[in-house]
Every structure is written in C-alpha cells, then in structure tokens.
Amino acid sequence: MSSSAEKKSITVALLGNPNTGKSTLFNKLAGVRQRVGNYPGVTVEKKVGRMSIDDTEFTMIDLPGTYSLAPRSPDEMVAVDVLLGRQTDVGQPDVVLAIVDASNLERNLYLVSQLLELGLPTVLVVNMMDVATQKGVELDIARLNKQVGVPCVTTQANADVGLVELKAAMVQAAQLVASGKGQEIESPFAEAFQQEVEKLSNKIAKSAQMPRYLVERLLLDTCGYLAEAGLEGVDSSFLAAVEEARGRLADQGMAVPAVEATARYSWVGEVLGGVVTRPKTPPKTITDKIDKVLTHWFFGSVVFLVIMAFMFQAIFTWSGPLMDGVDGVFGALGDVVGAQLAAGPVKSLVVDGIIGGVGGVIIFLPQILILFLFIAILEDCGYMARAAYLMDRVMSKVGLSGKSFIPLLSSFACAIPGIMAARVIEDRRDRLTTILVAPLMSCSARLPVYAILISAFIPDTPILGKWFGLRALTMFSMYILGMVVAALVALVLKRTLLKGATPPFVMELPSYKMPSLRTVFFRLTERGWSFVKRAGTVILAVSVLIWAALYYPHNTEVVEAPFQARLAAVDADIAKLQGDELVAAEELKAAIDNEIAGAYLEQSFMGRAGKIVEPVVKPLGWDWRIGCAAIASFPAREVIVATLSVIYNMGEEGAEEEGIEDLEQELRDATWSGTDEKVYNIPVALSIMVFFALCAQCMPTLVVIRRECGSWNWALFAFVYMTTLAYIGAFLTYQIGIRFF
Amino acid sequence: MSSVWQNLIVFAVALAAAGFLLRKGWLVFSGKGGGCGSCAKCPAGESAELVQIDLGGESEG
C-alpha cells in the first residue's frame, strides 16, 4: 500500500470460481465496461479498474476465474503469481475480494481456504443471493462471518444489492492494511504436514526466496507442473526432498495429493456448520426444466441445429436491405468523386482502389452485426454453455475434452482469443492440439468471402419455406466443414504426434437469464466499430497497394498499340453509321475498351505475377486474378474481397466513369483472358469458399500460435497443414463439382 | 493536373500505405501491438502474463 497526504492507494484483487458474477461485480465497482457473458467461456482481456471511496483510491485487478489456487495451467499460475506479488506488472494486492456463489458455498469455499493461507486481508463476498433464494437455500451470514474469520458481505451484483456494504468492508480492510495487521487464519492442514512444509521452506531458503504457499504447493503438486515451471531453487536435490516428505506423510496416513482435499473440505465443513439450510427436495427451477430439453442428446442437438439454421438464414434475409443501403452509399460516392476528377491515376486510385476496395468489404457490416447479435444473445442468455455440454460427447470421440470446446467456440469470432483461451487446458498435448485446430473454425473474417460468393452464385432456393434456404445451408456447410476437418485433424494429432488420453471435463451450467440489452448492444457496437476501423486502415492500405500493383507500369504505348487499328476502324464506323448499326459499332468499341483494360491488368506488376501463379491455381478452377487475390489476403482473409473488387473495377473499362460496380455482377461477368468463357461458376465459387474455410491466411493468428507454443515450428506446421488441406479441399470440390454443374 | 503530378501523388499514397502495413506487420510479429484489427482490443499484443483468461464468463446473477 502506498499513501500520500491526500489519497491512500490500495490494490484490490477479485478472485473467485467461474460464474460467480465476478466481472459483473468488477464492472459495478470500477465502472468499467468489461465484457460479461453468461457462460464459462473466455474473456481475454487485461482487467484493471479504479474506484475511489473517500480518501482511498482502490486499484481493482480482476483475476482469472479459477476453481483452485493449485497452478496446473498458465492461467492459474497468473492468479497465484499476482496474489503472491510475483507479477512484475502489478504489485501484490493489499486486499482480496473472494467472490463466492451463495447457492454453492461448499465448492466455492475450497478456493477461499487456499486464499486465506496467503494471509492477505480478505473480504468474503457472498454473491448471487437471488439464485440461492430461487433454489430455496437459506444462509446464516452472521454465523458464517464468525466461523470463517474474515468479514462477509452478501451481494447481488447485477441488481446493485449489497454494494454499499461491500465498499464499507473494503474501506475497513484498507484500514487493516494501514494498521499493518494481517488476518491470522489457522491452517487446515495437520501439524505433521505443516512441519514438512517448514522443513522444505528452510531447505529452499538456502538458495532462493520462495513464499511458503509455493513450497506447500510443490509438496502437493503431484502432476509436476510447478516442478517444471523453472522456479528458482527447485533443483533435483530439492525435488528429492519433496519426494521424501511425501513418503513420510503417506506413512502417517496423509498421502499426497488426497491430503489436501480431505483437509480443505473438512475445513469447509466446519466453517459451514449451521450456516446453510437446503430444502429436502430442491425446487425445480426454470433452468432445470429448459435444460431437460436443451441438454438432451437428441432434442438438444435438434434445437442447436435449428438455432444455427435460423442464424444463417437471418444473416442473408435480414441483411439484404441494409447491404443495399451501404452499396448505394458507396456507389453514389464513387459516382460523385468520379465525376469531379479527371481521368488518370489519381481518379483510378480513388474510385477503383479506395472506394472500390473499402466499399467492397464494408458492405458486409450488416451481416457481421447480425452474426454477432446472435452470438451475443446466445452467450448472454446462457445457451452457449449448453452447446459446449452437447459437444463434449463429440469432442471426447476425437480425443479432446469439452474444455477444448470453449477455445474453439471463441474461434468462431476470431482465432486469436480462441488460441489464447487454450491456456486453461492443463495437458500440453491437448492444449497444442486445440491451438492447432482452432484456426479451422470459421472466423468472422471469412464471412464476407462466403457471403459474396454465395450471393453471386448460389440460387436463392427455399428448402424449408422462407425459414431456411439453399444460401443459408451453403454458409452453414462452410462452418460445419471447418468443424468436421478440425475434429479429424485433432483425431489424427491425438493418435500420432500428440498421443495421449482424453481428459475428463467438468463444466458448470449457469442459470438462464434474459439477455442484457446493454451487454448485447456493447458487443455489437464494439464489433461494428472495429470492422469499420479495420476497413478504414488495413483494408484501405492493402487496397491502395493492390491498386498500385494492378495499375503500374501502365505503359500506354505498349498496351494500346495492338488495338489502335481496330479502334480507329470502329471510330470511323461510329462517325458514319446510324440506328442499329451505330449501336452495334458502339458495343464493339466498348468490347475493345474492355479488352484494353484487361490488357493493362495483364501487363501490370500483379498481372505478370499472376500469370506465374495461374498454373498452380488453375486445377482449382481459378484464374490468375483469384490466385493473386488469395495470396494478397495473407494479412487478413477478407482482403480477398477488397482485392477482387479492385481487380474487377480496374478490369472494366468505363468503371471509372460509372463509379464502382456491383462486385457480384462483376464476378458473374468475368471471363478467362481472351475468351468468352466465364471464370466463375458454382464449382469455382465452392472451391474458393472451401479453400478459405481451411486455409491459414491470417498472419496475426500464426504469430499468436508461435507465441503460445513457444516455437515457430508449430506456427509453420499449422500454416503448412492448413494450406495443404485447403488446396486439396478446393481441388476436390472443383473437380467433383464440374461433373455435376 | 499533369500525369507526372498525379503519379507523384499516388506514389506518395502507396508509400504511406506500404509504411502503415509494414509497421503493423512489425508490431504483430514483435508481439507489441494488436492482431488483425478485427477486435477493439486484441489480446495478441498484450503481455503474456497479464492477459486474463477467464474460465468464468461471469453470469450477471
């Protein structure tokens, strides 16, 4: 703690099990808009907030939700390190708010018993009192207060209940800190166990400084995570001493690790004696009744499929008018700007490169918002946890536990937080497997790629009336494809490179609730703004470079010379012809102009590079333009849409005069160079979609894989296997497709 | 505006775009800043220690 003449500064850490309303409480206290979701998923954010009460400023740190302070994975280690003051970024907390679920004190107090051993001033926050009441659970808080030995406050954070009392308790705890008094809590362990810890502490003290709690954890940690964590002073002789201590404890009937559960639950039993009264028959809550259907293997799966089908249909149906609106705005902008500028590179850059490229991507904003509207509602009402529960059965078949499902679920929005969320997986092989398959989940960046190709080439044929059509089915299939391939890759990895047993998975299903409008709105605005910002930065910059690569060297003499004779002849015809013959001559001139525009593209830097690429992508049904667009999309997948938009605007003579063209129509009209044969058809569109469903075209994702795995080898492995799968998938799709369409 | 000036302008714009992407790429590679830009606050640029992974998405009650 630091203090000054005006303000005292206190650091407060919030610790609790998952789903105890910790982030909600954090938001209420610190006034921060922290993302809140009603599922034990992932919130990958740095959570530090501040609040002031009278003359004290509190810095709040929201720690990862955890069931235990026994570090078995990197995220649990973060919590332990912060509490022990071993984190360099933040100081040791002065006060800890231990947040527990009022309806499940027995389980929640296990973590509290570990926390109290650290000796930090603690306030026990008994949250979610409303849920306890619904379940018929009665609590004698005065008795709990007396028996646990630290101040207790009851709250219902989402309704602001108990916050005044909590703040008062925090001030009191701060005063305790100021007075230099700690909270003396008796250890739950027997004397013999404590003596062993003491001996080990004395031994390690000769070579390194280690908090007593960590020494105790080393003694209890039979899975070896701490032994391999590179802690100072932990060498082979110390580990041998730990083994000897375990042997002596086992001889006294205190075998490690069972001794911990026995001691702590015994402590919990004492603390809760006479505190909790439960009804003999727990009342059936609405959540219980809904879960009978939603977690049923058959009915739950049907509901899941119906929800997904509805979501994908809505992405097409609801977004139509909004997309037309955005399209209209960019079309008009292109017309207005095009009319103001004289023909030349500046006009081409602005109209074809900037407005065409950025507009081509930003048109998908409505679809992105609809996708995230569904995700936000499903998360916030508590449905996502049920989806994870249903998927656990499938996950175990491929050697992964349901614990992998949460990172994979996050990857549908973006693979980066999904990959980082894999830190919660203790087993290294499972963690690696999850990280390597997470980018196969169709992230939101793939949505524009699917949407443009589906809208342009998949007929709007109803399948189940107006509720579900062929377009929604195609998009759904792309998401399913990613999931199925991820499952197969995980299966192969778990049986070869990363062989290991399937870990068990325990997940708490939160209560259902009405989605919070505030939370949903916040999520949508955040996503929408990020998408627009990205279009105005990365997409804009890439569009400019793509334009430059497609415009230059722009050698007029070389490109136009072969066409001069034909153009002169047509111009002469136009001057003397009338009626239908004049119309035909003008059409011929427009066709020659298009050929010239096409010749400029082929002579451009990108066109020349594309011709080198074309033989590689031709078996997929792609021409050089698609090949170049796919390569250019390496920084981010949706860049392909911007690139195609720029390419086809520039390849269409007259586009500058007319403003940006409808990309869907441009794709339908595109022909192979020098022929009338259309480039795109259904097999080609599907081939591109399959490629993008499976490819690793996302540089930031590869960088994060490298960081999380500690080696470029795994990032390279992910890139190679995904690109290979994408190529093979696209090849098979096209080659099989052309036999049917 | 002469074509020379036009070419100079677009060259400057392209140079700025290339510089922006190079800087962005460097930040991503060095782990100093944001990922692809799709999220308001990308965890990719956060320190490995302080990025919180919350098993509990936190029910509001």
Extended beta strands in A105-168, E state:
122-127, 138-139, 152-154
Instruction: Yes or no: say if A15 and A96 are a contact pair by the CB < 8 Å rule.
Output: yes
Chain segment A264-295, per-residue pLDDT in tens? 999 999 999 999 988 888 777 888 889 999 98
CA atoms of A61 and B17, how far apart (whole Å): 38
Q: Is the pLDDT of residue A657 over 60?
A: no
Lookup: tokens for B14 = 């392209």
A64–B10 C-beta distance less than 8 A: no
Q: Is the pLDDT of residue B52 over 50?
A: no
What is the pLDDT at residue A493? 92
Which residues of chain A neighbour B34 with C-beta distances below 8 Å?
700
Q: What is the 3-state secondary structure (H, E, C) of A474-538?
A: HHHHHHHHHHHHHHHHHHHHHHCCCCCCCCCCCCCCCCCCCCCHHHHHHHHHHHHHHHHHHHHHH
Q: Tell me the ipTM for this assembly.
A: 0.76
Segment A173-182 shows an average pLDDT of 74
What distances in angstroms separate CA B13 from CA A346, A534, A632, B17, B19, one per listed residue?
10, 18, 19, 6, 10
Does the reported pTM lie above 0.90?
A: no
A16–B54 C-beta distance less than 8 A: no
At A385, the amino acid letter reads A
Which H or E run includes A366? helix A365-381
B25–A416 C-beta distance less than 8 A: no
Which residues of chain B neighbour A416 with C-beta distances below 8 Å?
35-36, 39, 42-44
Chain segment A58-83, per-residue pLDDT in tens? 888 888 778 888 877 666 777 788 88
DSSP symbol at A206? T
Q: How far is the alpha carbon of A697 from chain B, nearest alpha carbon, in Å?
A: 11
The percent of chain A in helix, strand and coil, each rounded to the nearest 5, is 65, 5, 30
Q: Which stretches within A411-466 are classed as H helix?
A: 415-421, 428-437, 447-457
Is pLDDT larger for residue A598 or for residue B44? Answer: A598
Q: Is the pLDDT of residue A479 over 90?
A: yes
Nearest in space to A48 (alpha carbons), one of A65, A31, A66? A31
What is the pLDDT at residue B47? 39
Which H or E run includes A583? helix A579-603
CA atoms of A606 and A710, how far apart (whole Å): 36
Max mean pLDDT range (A136-140, A717-721, B39-43): A717-721
Residue of A nearest to B23 (CA): A538
pLDDT band (50, 70, 90) for residue A519? confident
Chain segment A577-591, per-residue pLDDT in tens? 888 888 888 889 888
pLDDT band (50, 70, 90) for residue A115? very high
At A249, the amino acid letter reads L
A24–B21 C-beta distance less than 8 A: no
CA atoms of A407 and A390, how far apart (whole Å): 15
What is the pLDDT at residue A410? 78
Interhelix angle A383-397/A470-495, nearest 10 degrees:
50
Chain segment A541-559, per-residue pLDDT in tens? 999 999 999 999 988 888 8
Q: Is the peptide bond before A615 cis (omega within 30 degrees of 0)?
A: no
Nearest in space to A42 (alpha carbons), one of A71, A67, A65, A25? A65
Q: Is the pLDDT of residue A154 over 90?
A: yes
Q: Is the pLDDT of residue A574 over 90?
A: no
A159–B44 C-beta distance less than 8 A: no
pLDDT band (50, 70, 90) for residue A658? very low
Which residues of chain B neighbour A107 with C-beta distances below 8 Å?
none
B39–A416 C-beta distance less than 8 A: yes
What is the pLDDT at residue B55? 30
Q: Is the pLDDT of residue A626 over 90?
A: yes
CA atoms of A659 and A647, how far apart (whole Å): 14
Which residues 6+ apart lie within 8 Å of A5 measured at CB? none
Which residues of chain A neighbour B58 with C-beta distances below 8 Å?
18-24, 36-38, 43, 65
What is the pLDDT at residue A105? 92
Q: Is the pLDDT of residue A57 over 80?
A: yes
Q: Is the pLDDT of residue A315 over 50?
A: yes
State what percent of residues in chain A have pLDDT above 90. Answer: 34
Q: Is the pLDDT of residue A681 over 90?
A: yes
Average pLDDT, chain A: 85
Q: How far is CA A738 from the centre of its chain?
A: 36
DSSP symbol at A39? S
What distances in angstroms separate CA A641 from CA A148, A359, A370, A535, A612, one per listed residue?
61, 10, 19, 11, 21
Which residues 6+ apart lie within 8 Å of A517 measured at CB? none
Which residues 6+ apart lie within 8 Å of A232 measured at CB? A207, A208, A209, A210
Residue of A21, A417, A636 with shortest CB distance to B61: A21
What is the pLDDT at residue A44? 34
CA atoms of A383 and A375, how far apart (whole Å): 10
Chain segment A213-272, per-residue pLDDT in tens? 889 999 998 777 777 777 787 888 888 999 999 999 999 988 888 889 889 999 999 999
Please state whether A453 falls in left (phi above 0), alpha (psi between -120 and 50) or beta: alpha
Q: Is the pLDDT of residue A512 over 60?
A: yes
Instruction: Yes or no: say if A355 and A536 are a contact pair by the CB < 8 Å rule.
Output: no
Is pLDDT larger for residue A201 or for residue A56? Answer: A201
Three-class SS state of A462: strand
What is the pLDDT at residue A45? 40
